[in-house]
Structure 1
Amino acid sequence: MTTTARQKPGRARSGETSSVRTLERGLTVLLALKELRRAPLSVLARQVNLSASTTYRLLETLRQHGFVEWDEPSGVYSVGLRAYQVGLAFTERNNLISSAHPEMEALVGDLNETVNLAVLYGSEAVYVHQVEGRQLMRMFAHLGDNAPLHASGVGKVLLAWRPEGDVRQKLGDGPFPAYTTHSITTLAALLRELAQVREQGYSVDDEERELGVRCVAVPVRDHTRQVVASLSVSAPTSRFGRDQIAEVAGRMNRAAEQVSIRLGWG
């Protein structure tokens, strides 16, 4: 009589472990391609710290399933249609985006500047929706782009109503990266800034991420009264003076309140 050894609970077979590792690497390659937008094999391999042969095999699998596209004449890879379809499924099921879109359209009509919607993801803010302004020179972020929490209007709003311990957990004790000479780089200065954001009800990115760009962001709340997103407007400082901040913030807070009501706040 033969006996079959049973696998111990919780222990993955070696083949399963290999498959999971391959999946993780494939997702890493796809995320890198999202950041780079378009890139040849050699650049992608360096970005993900894998050999060219391994990166190629992962890309080929992703290409066969439609998540990656390859332009043969240039040898450049880009994100494929299937990845867009997956992202679209998130958009369609997300009540936040559908609730925010009409107010974002109205803000663009009033302010004639691009309006963004961002949420907290880990230790970064991520832009999940956008309505572009009509100015010839527009300030906008690509959907899916990340913004540093300490050096962006949306980031500071998403942090401001969270406990101090949570802020420390997400950002550490500093120093934080300086993108310009205006960037906040210490935890103490950031905590003071967040207290001011709570007091006035909006945050300002005054050339902290990019020189010549000013941004105002406001909180969006859900039925639990928690801040779940941030609406922001960015514009060149030549079009968006400091004397306009309070008026713009007031208009944006009225829009954010309507979004929050749709989400059950009130």
Structure 2
Amino acid sequence: MGAQAAGGEGSGVRTLERGLAVLAALAGRRAATLTQLARDVNLSASTVSRLLDTLCRQGFAEDVDGTYRVGPRAAQVGQAYDAHDALLAAARPVMRAVVDDLNESVNLAALRGPEAAYVAQVEGRQLVRMFTQLGAAAPLHASGVGKVLMAWRDDADVAVLLGKGPYPAFTPHSLTTWPAYRDELARVRAQGHALDDQERELGVRCVAAPIRGADRSVVAALSVSAPTSRLTESEVPRFVARITAATGEISRALGWTP
């Protein structure tokens, strides 16, 4: 059984590779016939025809009277990449400015399935500082960025992504029930920022705020985190003011208007 599964997986990977090769060849030509694409990818016309049928059904290619071109779903993928690139370009200089002001680590996170994924970081210069590996994920219920990414979504969407609980308790401060989390999201919406008060890790606080796109939707979250010995309760308002000013600047660069 294991050998069959491995063989099926390998066949699926080869099919995916061939399909992507056809799509790349199609993108290079803008429009092409079946014969041209088969020659470009060095596959038989029958194989390329089957791959094109799948690409067309999924919206990644279009057949216009026997001439193929890139479909709308491929364009959506490209737009998503452009949007990510634009987000990083707008955020990085602002993140560096926040670090200059607060001397604490600043993180940029975006939604990735049922988690918040860190896509950029600028580290503070303190001897003891918060470090996050790029690509690492934070739980939506126990992180400032997770709360921000969820707060402006409908309860039904949040429930689909997170479930109705109970949620894992990382510390005694973690929110573990749906009613408590729902109330917390309402608080985040009302105040415009989120606080992770030792909910993921004891001794660490984090404040986060939303970054919005031109359509006013929340596209990412920006946060600053530090040990509780430096980010004390009395310091929270100063950190909130700086991070919300930063997210406003990034959002405006992405086309958002208040």
TM-score with structure 2 setting the length: 0.69
Partner of 2:221: 230
C-alpha deviations, 1:167-219, integer Å up to 9, x for none?
10011110000000000000000000000001111000000000000000000
Q: Which residue identity lines up with residue 144 of structure 2 in the other structure?
A: G
5+ long unaligned stretches in structure 1: 1-13, 24-89
Aligned-partner Cα distance in 2 for 1:151–1:138:
20
Name the SS for the 1:94 alignment partner.
helix
Aligned-partner Cα distance in 2 for 1:146–1:15:
29
Aligned-partner Cα distance in 2 for 1:137–1:125:
24
Q: CA deviation at 1:92?
A: 10
Q: Which residue identity lines up with residue 248 of structure 1 in the other structure?
A: F
Partner of 2:124: 133
Q: CA deviation at 1:21?
A: 4.8
The count of residues paired between Structure 1 and Structure 2 equals 188
1:249 to 230, 240, 245: 240
- 1:184 paired with 2:175, answer yes
Q: Which residue identity lines up with residue 180 of structure 2 in the other structure?
A: A
Query: Contact 1:151 / 1:208 at 8 angstroms: preserved in 2?
Result: yes
Aligned-partner Cα distance in 2 for 1:91–1:184:
35
Aligned-partner Cα distance in 2 for 1:192–1:215:
19
Map residues 115-154 of structure 1 onto 2, 5 A cutoff: 115-154=106-145
C-alpha deviations, 1:141-192, integer Å up to 9, x for none?
1000000000000000000000000010011110000000000000000000
Q: Note the aligned Cα RMSD (angstroms).
A: 2.2
Aligned-partner Cα distance in 2 for 1:184–1:113:
25
Partner of 2:157: 166
- 1:221 paired with 2:178, answer no
Partner of 2:166: 175
Q: Which residue identity lines up with residue 249 of structure 1 in the other structure?
A: V
Aligned-partner Cα distance in 1 for 2:6–2:245:
55
Q: CA deviation at 1:244?
A: 1.2
Q: 1:194 to 1:20 in 2, by over 3 A?
A: farther
Q: Which residue identity lines up with residue 104 of structure 1 in the other structure?
A: M
2:196 to 205, 211, 215: 205
C-alpha deviations, 1:122-142, integer Å up to 9, x for none?
100000000010000001210
Map residues 103-114 of structure 1 onto 2, 5 A cutoff: 103-114=94-105
Query: Contact 1:126 / 1:144 at 8 angstroms: preserved in 2?
Result: yes
Q: Which residue identity lines up with residue 248 of structure 2 in the other structure?
A: E
Partner of 2:231: 240
Which protein is bigger by CA-based radius of gyration? Answer: 2
Name the SS for the 2:135 alignment partner.
coil
Q: Which residue identity lines up with residue 250 of structure 1 in the other structure?
A: A
Name the SS for the 1:151 alignment partner.
coil
Query: Contact 1:91 / 1:97 at 8 angstroms: preserved in 2?
Result: no
Q: CA deviation at 1:243?
A: 1.2
Partner of 1:262: 253
Aligned-partner Cα distance in 1 for 2:210–2:178:
21
Q: 1:20 to 1:116 in 2, by over 3 A?
A: farther
Name the SS for the 1:250 alignment partner.
helix
Query: Contact 1:221 / 1:227 at 8 angstroms: preserved in 2?
Result: yes
Query: Contact 1:174 / 1:185 at 8 angstroms: preserved in 2?
Result: yes
Q: 1:178 to 1:92 in 2, by over 3 A?
A: same
Aligned-partner Cα distance in 2 for 1:105–1:158:
22
5+ long unaligned stretches in structure 2: 15-80
Give the share of equivalent positions with the same residue, in percent: 54
Partner of 2:20: none
2:88 to 74, 86, 97: 97
Report runs of 4+ in structure 1 exceeding 6 Å deviation.
90-93
